[in-house]
Every structure is written in structure tokens, then in C-alpha cells.
Structure 1
Amino acid sequence: MFGREKDPVTALATPAGDESNPTEVAGKGRPTPKRKEAEAANKRPLVPTDRKAAGKTGKNAAREARNREYQAMQSGDERSMPAQHRGPVRRYIRDYVDARWNLGEFFLPIAAVFLVLQISLAKAAPGLASLAVLVLYIYVIFAIVDGYIMWRGLRKRLRAKFGEDKLGRGLVMYSLMRAFQLRPTRLPKAQVRRGHKPE
């Protein structure tokens, strides 16, 4: 009663196969999937069905990643290095530490020698054994002082080259830990010769 009257012209149905109808739209050629079917197709299992195969694949991927990182640490390619070794600041620290002679890098072999001396002289000459321990402690103190002097000089260079805002946290321990490692065992591998400090 209150509805609009339909236009008698547009209300007429046009035959489906009539090619003369300009408003006919071609179909997509397949039925529209139901909502349940579409949701089921998009679902992915949270837990893989074959856990053994998935675990093997994960282990292989982790092993390949470790191999890439190790090769990068040997060659100096920072793109595949772990994040804690990347960046120009960390590279500068490594080159600076590797270019100088550090007392700390000889700590482990010297400590091993003095430990053998202490054990061998403990019964035969207790006084000499105690002296060996004292000399080792003195060497440790000198190594720590040498590391502190190294860091003071390195910090001045880092501030002048990169600026204070570019220096992140953990650089002191990063440089000291490298200084207390034997040069052949350092990773990333040393890329500079002794005496060739970076500019």
C-alpha cells in the first residue's frame, strides 16, 4: 500500500540467454564456496602432523645458520655474523684490540704454567709454590690495569670518530673480553696485524 510502485519496464524479466541484453554479466564459472569451506581452506595446523620430520627440518636449519655464522666469523663478513658483532663501532673495537699487545691475552697459558708449578712444588718447596701464586696474582693485577688503559684510549677514539650518541652499552666488556682471549682463538677472527691500529 505504501511501497513504491515498480517500473513496469524494468520489472519485465529478460531471458538469460538473450545476447541482445547489454546489462548481462558473465558468471565466474564456479559456485561460491560456503563460509565453512572457505574458513577450513585458510586454516593451518598450529602443530605439524609429523613432529619428527618437523624437528629434523628445524635442526638442519639451525645447523646451517650456525655454519653460516661461523664462516662469517672466520672471514669477517658482518652480514651473517651474530647481532652482537655487527656494526662499525664493534668492528673498530675489534681492530683496535687486535692491533695491540694485551697482557690479558696471555693470562690463560701463564695461569696454567703457574698452576703446574704450584702443584709440583707444593711438597718439595712450599715457599716457592706460594711465590708462584703471588706472582700470578701480580700478573692478573697488571693485566687488569693494562685493560683499563686500553679502554681509556679506545673510548677517546670512539667518541672522536662516532660521537657519544652512537656508542651503545656493553662496549667495555666487549673490548675487555676480546683483550683477554688469545689472538688465534678470537671470534670474529682478527682482520688487522699487530701495530696497525684503525684510524
Structure 2
Amino acid sequence: MGSNPVHPVPLGFVFRSRAKEEKAPTAVKASLTDSKQPRDPQAPKGRPTPKRSEAQTQRRSVANTTMTRKDASKRQRDERRAQMERQRQALAGGDERYLPARDKGPVRKFARDFIDSRFNVAEFFLPLAVVILVLSVVRVAALQNIALLLWLVVIVLILLDSVLSVFRLRKRLAERFPGQNQKGAVVYALMRSLQMRRLRLPKPQVKRGERP
């Protein structure tokens, strides 16, 4: 019976196989050791732990961010104060850019100028009311009757003057701003006419008798 021939195994192959077997456990042990190392809490997942200098830089950036928020809050307060100051100056000088929303726009400006360019009976109501009140307090029948009559006259004059102002203002607005939104402009003008000229805000920009 024939026997299978035995081929000699090269010595180099044997040594290489043993070297691979020895390196494999070492690599596994190294991977396990690396996975057990504590990960820096600031390092993103799946990334190596940053160096000490990088970690210090990140901590400084976080601190700067916190300070920036405080500075931003302070800056917002300063901006609000500056805005209110600009608005106050605009009410005194008539700068349209910084006026409150209720006073902005060409329609509202025209309504203000219309009222400021004429005498309004309603603006004299407070001084007349003081005079009438004094007369009514005096215990003289004639003066009290005069005070009552003055009350009636003032109220009638204010009503007539207000109706005339509304009629003229609506006509002028229709001519000057056709097709534009004029909502609230007439009421806005009437409320202004109730105030004394020197107390009006924004301050009057036209003289009495001047055509707006």
C-alpha cells in the first residue's frame, strides 16, 4: 500500500503564525484598556480626550460666553434707555424717526399741523373752567347765574368748533392723502385739540394761521 508523502513545513511560516497569535491578545488587551480610560466630560463622544491646553481654552470660552450674556443684558437695558431718550427728544423736536407709533406717519403729522395752525376753543377749556368754578363758588346769585351760562356757552362752542374741525380735516385728508389709510387720524386730532398748545406732544411745528 502506498503512503502519502509528508511535505516539510517551512520554519518561517511557523514563526510568523506564532508571532500573529502573540500580537492578537496584545491588541485586544490594548483596546480594552483604551476603552476603560475615563473620557473627558467636555470631549465629544467618539473623539479623543482633548489636551490640557485645549480643555483650558474650552473652559475660558464657556466663561466668556457667560460674561457675554450678562453684557448682552446690560447692553439691552442701555439700548432701551437710549431709545427712550431719543423718543423724548423726538417729541420735543418732531424727528419722525424716533416718534412713538401713534405719532408716526405723514397722515398723523398733517393732522397735528392742522390742529396746531388754528385756534381751537377746546384748548381754552381748562382756563375757562377755572374761572367758571371760581364764579360758581362765590355766594352771589348773579355771579352763579353767569357761571352757569358760561358753562353752557363753552360746551356749545366746543361742540360746534369740533364738528367744524372734523369736517375740514376729513376734506383736507381726502385731498392730500387719497387712498391712504387715515384710520384714527380725526380722533387723534380732536384729542390734540383738547390740550393747551404749549403742553402738546410732539411739540407744534407750525405757527397759528399757517397753512399746513
TM range, smaller chain: 0.5 to 0.7
Q: 1:33 corresponds to which letter in structure 2?
A: P
Partner of 1:157: 172
**Unmatched tracts of structure 1, length 5 or more:** 1-30, 36-40
Measure, in 2, the Cα distance between the counterparts of 1:156 and 1:75.
28
How big is the shift at 1:136?
1.7
Match of 2:185 among 161, 171, 174: 171
Measure, in 1, the Cα distance between the counterparts of 2:192 and 2:117.
12
Match of 1:111 among 116, 124, 129: 129
Q: What is the TM-score when the length of structure 1 is the normalising length?
A: 0.66
**Unmatched tracts of structure 2, length 5 or more:** 1-41, 47-61
Measure, in 2, the Cα distance between the counterparts of 1:189 and 1:117.
33
How big is the shift at 1:57?
7.2
Match of 1:147 among 162, 176, 181: 162
Determine what percentage of the aligned residue pairs are the same residue: 39
Is the aligned partner of 1:183 residue 2:197? Answer: yes
Which entry has the higher C-alpha Rg, 1 or 2? 2
SS, match of residue 166 in structure 1: coil
Measure, in 2, the Cα distance between the counterparts of 1:59 and 1:127.
60
Measure, in 2, the Cα distance between the counterparts of 1:97 and 1:65.
28
Distance 1:80 1:142, change over 3 A: same
Measure, in 2, the Cα distance between the counterparts of 1:34 and 1:85.
57
1:11-26 matches, within 5 Å, as: none
Q: 2:166 corresponds to which letter in structure 1?
A: W
Distance 1:64 1:134, change over 3 A: farther
Measure, in 1, the Cα distance between the counterparts of 2:44 and 2:128.
76
Partner of 1:136: 151
Q: 1:158 corresponds to which letter in structure 2?
A: L
Is the aligned partner of 1:193 residue 2:204? Answer: no
1:39-50 matches, within 5 Å, as: none
Q: 1:193 corresponds to which letter in structure 2?
A: K
How big is the shift at 1:60?
5.4
Deviations 1:103-138 (Å, cap 9, x if unpaired)?
11111111111112212x1x3x13421430331232
Partner of 1:14: none
Q: Out of 81-90 and 168-177, give the one that drifted further.
A: 168-177
From the two aligned structures, give the one with the greater helix fraction: 2
Q: What is the TM-score when the length of structure 2 is the normalising length?
A: 0.62
SS, match of residue 128 in structure 2: helix
Distance 1:34 1:109, change over 3 A: farther
Is the aligned partner of 1:33 residue 2:44? Answer: yes
